[in-house]
Structure 1
């Protein structure tokens, strides 16, 4: 809402685009001509685009409706807590892969969350209260000495678990390049899972990475490897990891999806830095305490019948943010990234993204992200040309004078290229609309953006 308060009673909706929700006619009138935050667009500027974005609603709802647990509320939203509650995996501490911060605070208290608290109002007060009530350190499972088993991690009935460690009872999937895995329906069929399984509620993270690599950026292909030829090597840098640190073993799915590939997946971010620092200080025998550029904290090799794909997961923790490969000698152990990916990135919301955006453009490194909403994708893309032009005029003003920063010539070349930024609906989004004050599709890992790529 424009005012920042919680809607009580029936919400008001724009009569033209049917998208934003308001607590009153006054609130709607204000939003029409007043920016909610600095540099944001008014509803008058967004209304026509909203009509186009609303055409996605049936597609988003259909993704949810295919699941028996996918209850669509009257306002079009989906209560993930109700779905999790059905399987007794609501979350919090001690729930294996399902452990998470909980409540309405999905991210670390930065950016818009801090702004909401500072602004006050009933919403700001609720956010502040919930942040304290549901306090949880993402990555806490990595303070243990070993990863949980499939059963202990998923905490579901065996027939609902997408196993990575197989047995005579739970056979591995067939070679991924023999089927077309293009959406949740085809993935569930390939994994021989019933739609009753809530696996999509967690696996949307690794599956979105898969989709970014094979469809958005086209740097990977299930058919690229073969048992007789050289293995395909992929070096992927994953930026902004938070809740994903609670279920790192689920990224083994990439080794099944990409046969005869060797994948290095390196995680960056504030939560990575925090959990590794804590582990080294007080949990010296834990998984996270072993993190280094030469020590993966998780490794997995798929069965031979599934293509023996391999993945190694690293935590890069010396800094709480991403830096270019040449800026940190430790990063040379990974090599130059074949791609950079980021889930639910919010590229225009955090200044920490600017060096990543510039580096990818100037060094032509494939960079793909997911975002919650198509509207936010398009709004954030407006910032890219200004950022490139600014860096071209004063090289190093954003990237800084650090090793690995592109040259002035690279800055100028990037600024003069005509970049295209396709935005697409992600078929591996988490099922279900978030409970936000708009009817526009707004879903975790909902949309993909090819920032830089083929």
Structure 2
């Protein structure tokens, strides 16, 4: 963790081990740096203190591995690499970019057909659910029970992508139903990165939204030039398990009546918008882990989205990032949030390493929207 006053004129004298006594969320290399940074930190200290009080809630998951994936990582007694290695999925297939050592090795030019969990059938949703949903899912425990998955299974580390889409659709159900939604739901998905290696997991939307076909346009600068710009993939089944004799190996047994279609478009949303609108108007726009406050390029996109009057959901890694993003959104649109900042029950259940704050951070941790 870096000193919160880094870059303010004088060099840091050592590691940032001196934490603010009030909020405990920021740290400094020295007393002098802490004093020099107070004029900035004073404005956020009370807010961060409140967020730190909710740390236990953020770290609470129903899985058998929850402490290992949250507290032990936050205390640096465990890492994402060792967590994955213990389960023999480190650097394997769709898991290859789930740790720091995998980020630099991730090849976004790899085929979109990576379609294996590298786990046994008891730990993964590789076939149709036993029963249809009788009510809306509201937490990981309900999802795992419905899909008959053991709570030992780490698949939530990847399924937080489609489950967050599912939850965003539920939160905006009344607004979406005002539009003409017959059999097809169109989603514009902004800023994909590691998802480009994990596209197969979006097949879970076949189970989550069985009465609809889903079309997702993934739009962002991380999509490789030429090789994947314009690429279209159709998913009729789920990610396969490792069992040789499982029914998921027979497409005729697992093919769903619905389809999830995914198209990749390179560039910023405001630059590719005309191309997108040639085919369909979105029922939902979603921008996972957007970092709206960190990247000025978002402002032109936000102004465009505001003019569409389409539900747009953003997520971020922690409440403070969501707060700063919400301020940017309100400033750009001149309106209050249509969807207030709230904890995502389907956030990724493994803590992010090397964060700027001591506040627990999780992928897709908080949702908010316009």
- Is this a same-fold pair by TM over 0.5? yes
Q: CA deviation at 1:310?
A: 2.6
Gaps of 5+ in 1: 34-41, 107-133, 225-229, 280-287, 389-414
Query: Kindly tell me: are residues 218 and 238 of structure 1, through their superposed partners in 2, closer, same or farther at Cα, counting changes over 3 Å?
Result: farther
User: What is the CA distance between 1:11 and its match in structure 2?
Assistant: 2.1
How many residue pairs end up in the alignment? 345
Q: Distance in 2 between matches of 1:10 and 1:419?
A: 35
Q: Which residue of 2 aligns with 1:440?
A: 359
Match of 1:84 in 2: 84
Q: Determine the structure 2 residue equivalent to 1:37.
A: none
Equivalent residue, structure 2, for 1:424 = 342
Q: Distance in 1 between matches of 2:16 and 2:298?
A: 38
Give the alignment partner of residue 313 of structure 1, picking from 245, 258, 262.
262
Per mean C-alpha deviation after superposition, the further-off stretch among 69-78 and 10-19 is 69-78
| Contact 1:426-1:447 at 8 Å conserved across structures | yes
Query: Contact 1:76/1:433 (CA < 8 Å) preserved in 2?
Result: no
> How big is the shift at 1:236?
0.2
Q: Distance in 1 between matches of 2:205 and 2:82?
A: 29
Give the whole-Å Cα distance in 2 for the aligned partners of 1:30 and 1:104: 35
Post-superposition offset of 1:342: 1.0
CA distance in 1, matches of 2:154, 2:131: 22
Q: Which runs of 5+ in 2 are unaligned?
A: 239-251
Aligned to 1:312, what secondary structure does the other structure show? Answer: strand
Aligned pairs for 1:31-430 (under 5 A) are: 31-33=37-39, 42-63=40-61, 66-68=63-65, 70-71=67-68, 72-73=71-72, 75-76=74-75, 79-91=79-91, 95-100=92-97, 102-103=99-100, 134-142=104-112, 147-149=113-115, 153-163=116-126, 166=127, 172-176=129-133, 178-215=134-171, 231-272=182-223, 274=224, 277=226, 279=227, 288=228, 291=230, 296-300=232-236, 308-317=257-266, 320-323=267-270, 327-328=274-275, 331-388=276-333, 415=334, 419-430=337-348
Kindly tell me: are residues 82 and 23 of structure 1, through their superposed partners in 2, closer, same or farther at Cα, counting changes over 3 Å? Answer: farther
- Are the equivalent residues in 1 in contact too, given 2:236–2:255 (CA < 8 A)? no
1:375 Cα offset (Å): 0.8
Cα shift at 1:321: 1.6
TM-score, normalised by the number of residues in structure 2: 0.82
Q: Secondary structure at the match of 2:310?
A: coil
SS of equivalent to 2:368: strand
Q: Tell me the distance in 1 between the aligned counterparts of 2:274 and 2:45.
A: 43
Change (3 A) 1:175 1:231: farther
Q: Is the 8 A contact 1:216 1:448 kept in 2?
A: no
Root-mean-square deviation over aligned CA pairs: 3.2
CA distance in 2, matches of 1:352, 1:9: 32
Q: Distance in 2 between matches of 1:439 and 1:431?
A: 17
In structure 1, C-alpha distance between the alignment counterparts of 2:350 and 2:114, rounded to whole Å = 28
Output the CA distance in 1 between the equivalents of 2:73 and 2:256.
Answer: 45
Whether contact under 8 Å (2:326, 2:368) holds in the other structure is no
Q: Secondary structure at the match of 1:30?
A: helix
> What TM-score does the superposition give when structure 1 sets the normalisation length?
0.68
Q: Are the aligned partners of 1:372 and 1:446 in contact in 2 as well (CA < 8 Å)?
A: yes
Contact preservation (8 Å) 1:239, 1:341: yes
**Displacement, 1:57?**
0.6
Tell me, yes or no, if the aligned pair for 2:317 and 2:363 is still in contact at 8 Å.
Answer: yes
Q: Verify the 8 A CA contact 2:60 2:66 in the aligned structure 1.
A: no
Kindly indicate whether the alpha-carbon contact (under 8 Å) linking 2:96 and 2:102 is maintained by their aligned counterparts in 1.
no
1:245–1:46 distance in 2 versus 1, CA, 3 Å: same
Q: Structure 1 residue 257: deviation in Å?
A: 0.4
Q: Which residue of 2 aligns with 1:2?
A: 4
Deviation at 1:97, TM superposition (A): 0.9
1:202 match: secondary structure: helix
